[in-house]
Chains A and B, each alone.
Chain A
Amino acid sequence: MRVAAAKGKGEPAALEAEGLWKRFGERQVLRGASLEVAAGEFVALLGPSGAGKSTLFRCLTRLEEPDKGTIRIAGHPFHDLYGRRLADARRSVGVVFQQFNLVRRLSALDNVLAGRLATTPFWRVALRRFTEEDRERAALALDRVGLLPQAHQRADTLSGGQQQRVAIARAIAQGSRVLLADEPVASLDPANARRVLGLMRELGRETGLAVLCTLHQPDLAHEFGDRILRMEGGRVVPDRSGADFGVAAPVGFLGEPDYEPGGEPEDACEEGGRGSGRVLALKGARPLLR
């Protein structure tokens, strides 16, 4: 059913970007990047550092202004909003950053309540006296990510994996329809990385949250992604490293990559062994594709 949602026809994609261009000084980082994420879908965006993944992420959130291009959220234009209307639209976009970006001196609960800022009057924000209803909602979100016991712990005393789960809980409390995650597991150990990615995928399946997650590890992308995209030359292209993902990569590639988007990814990547696959995919993918 979830995969069907990903391929659903008629209703607009949860997140849709078309022809995004962005230049920093002399460097043209994005050259017409386009992508689509359906509700409930977990899309992994691969690419080496410097490929423009973070720029794309920042443009999609409008923390950075794209020079050109359109962004739609659930069919509604997002790229041409400003001020109050932009802020309102942002409520349906949750974010998870590589560097966590929690308010370090506030509790986990308060950080989750950040998702309720927009609808909370200023005096309540300033005194951090949120309504009982919002606190309940935040508690539920924390419970969902398994951090209810740590609710009153200060954010900077939590482990990296826990902080990332707080960020996810914030998106839940915010009621976001889209979750954008920029290298969410780059600073985490493998076990925590899997837990965080697994959580994001589950949320997609349970609540229809559309997840776009940039990663630089192909093995994780294949393990969790319903669909894998790749940043290349400032554009987003379908990933084909599934083919050369393994020892017998070149042979497999000649026979056309047969990676199934949305299929159970385990068999695709388990066979070749992850360690070697990672090196091959990083080093070999580009020249092979040209």
Chain B
Amino acid sequence: MSLATSRSSLLPRKERSLAARLRFSGGLVLVVLFYAVCLHYSQVDLSALWKGLPRLWTWTSRAWPLDFSEYPVLLQRAAETVAMATIGTTLGALIAVPLCLMAARNTSAGGWVYYPARFLLNLLRGIDVFVFAIIFVAAVGLGPFAGVLGVGLHTAGSIAKLWSEAIETAAPGPIEAATMSGASRLKIVSFALVPDVLPSLASTILYMWEFNVRASTVLGIVGAGGIGQELKNSVDLLMFDRVFAIILIILAMVTVIDQISAFARRRLA
């Protein structure tokens, strides 16, 4: 008797217990419930969208020709946005240098440093740029400086997390080899680790910079400077020819920054 006739397959039968089946269906029910609740709370209303479409169309059709008449102001605001993101990202990176070394398992001095550092990093990362900006506008007043501080603190958390992960995945071999030279920890890190991870660290900075330029476009809405301020004013005054001009400027700015960042990151790889 051949094997093929005795069994449909060479594979042993896969047993699934009743408990496993119940767990699966239970999980499925929970996911469906979760979606139902979310749909309810997000007040999805297709009829409102249907009714709003003509209005959207009227605005769009009234926006032509686009109003670039105030381009010196708009360009200055755009430059403000890029500047805010650049200085904020730099501030964040500076804060992230000590933080990432403390928050990476292989460079941290021990649990008493590692866990507080991780906590601080998650706290910074967990609070959005926007939220930080609202707080700093209240503290230091309207203008891009509040945005710089907001971008800086949130970015510090994000960069430190990405950096510490890059450091943790760095090859241990060169560090061990350098350890046998009898050098101190700091020298070992700066000689055997930093050159190895530098491209990925720099790439992270560029990525965060690009991300922050996008995030900073809306910071003006809470008074933290940049092109978002102009956007909000124009929407409030229903000046749609100006709104679309600003959106176009934002798109152009973000595209250029993305291209520069992508190019630089390719060169680093």
- What is A's interface to B at a CB cutoff of 8 Å? 61, 63, 87-91, 93-95, 97, 99-106, 114-118, 120, 122, 125-126, 128, 167, 170, 174
Contacts and interface: CB of A to CB of B under 8 A. Distances in A.
B198 interface: yes
Contacts of A99: 173
Contact of A90 (B181, B186, B192): B181
Given A97-B173, A102-B177, A118 B195 contact: no
CB-based closest 10 A-B pairs? A101-B173, A117-B183, A91-B182, A118-B182, A101-B177, A90-B182, A87-B182, A117-B181, A105-B195, A125-B187
Given A97-B176, A99-B173, A117-B182, 8 more contacts: A87-B183, A87-B184, A90-B182, A104-B174, A105-B196, A118-B181, A118-B182, A122-B184
Contacts of B64: none
A161 B17 CA distance: 55
A61 to B, nearest CB: 6
Contact of B174 (A93, A94, A103, A118): A103
A93 B180 contact: yes
Interface string B170-200: 0101101111111110111011100110110
Nearest to A115: B181
Contacts of A93: 180
B187 A117 contact: yes
Contact of A114 (B181, B184, B186, B199): B181
Chain B binding surface SS class: helix
27 contacts: A61-B176, A63-B179, A63-B180, A87-B182, A87-B183, A89-B182, A93-B180, A95-B177, A97-B176, A97-B177, A99-B173, A102-B174, A103-B192, A103-B195, A104-B196, A105-B195, A105-B199, A114-B178, A115-B181, A117-B178, A117-B181, A117-B187, A118-B182, A122-B187, A125-B190, A170-B181, A174-B181
A102 B171 CA distance: 10
A122 B198 CA distance: 18
Nearest to A176: B180
A95 B187 contact: no
Contacts of B179: 63, 87, 90
Nearest to A124: B187
Contacts of B192: 103, 114
A118 B183 contact: yes
Contacts of B174: 101-104
B269 to A, nearest CB: 12
A85 B184 CA distance: 11
Q: Which of A91, A97, A104, A114 has the most CB of B within 10 A?
A: A114
Contacts of A63: 176, 179-180
Contacts of A126: 190
Nearest to B186: A122
Contacts of B198: 105
Nearest to B173: A101
A90 B179 CA distance: 8
A101 B174 CA distance: 4
Contacts of A115: 181
B177 A167 contact: yes
A88 B181 CA distance: 8
Nearest to A167: B177
Contacts of A61: 176, 180
A88 B182 contact: yes
B188 A117 contact: yes
A59 to B, nearest CB: 13
A90 B180 contact: yes
A143 B164 CA distance: 38
A136 to B, nearest CB: 18
Nearest to B199: A105
B97 to A, nearest CB: 13
B188 to A, nearest CB: 7
Given A102-B174, A104-B196, A91 B190 contact: no
Nearest to A61: B180
A170 B192 CA distance: 14
B183 A125 contact: yes
For A90, A125, A170, A174, the residue with the greatest tally of chain B CB atoms inside 10 Å of its CB is: A125
A8 B176 CA distance: 32
B191 A117 contact: yes
Nearest to A95: B180
Contacts of A100: 173
A101 B188 CA distance: 13
Contacts of A174: 181-182
A93 B180 CA distance: 7
Of B173, B182, B187, B192, most A-chain CB atoms within 10 Å: B182
Contacts of A118: 181-183
Given A103-B192, A104-B174, A122-B187, A94 B182 contact: no
Contacts of A94: 180
Contacts of B199: 105
A5 to B, nearest CB: 24
A90 B183 CA distance: 9
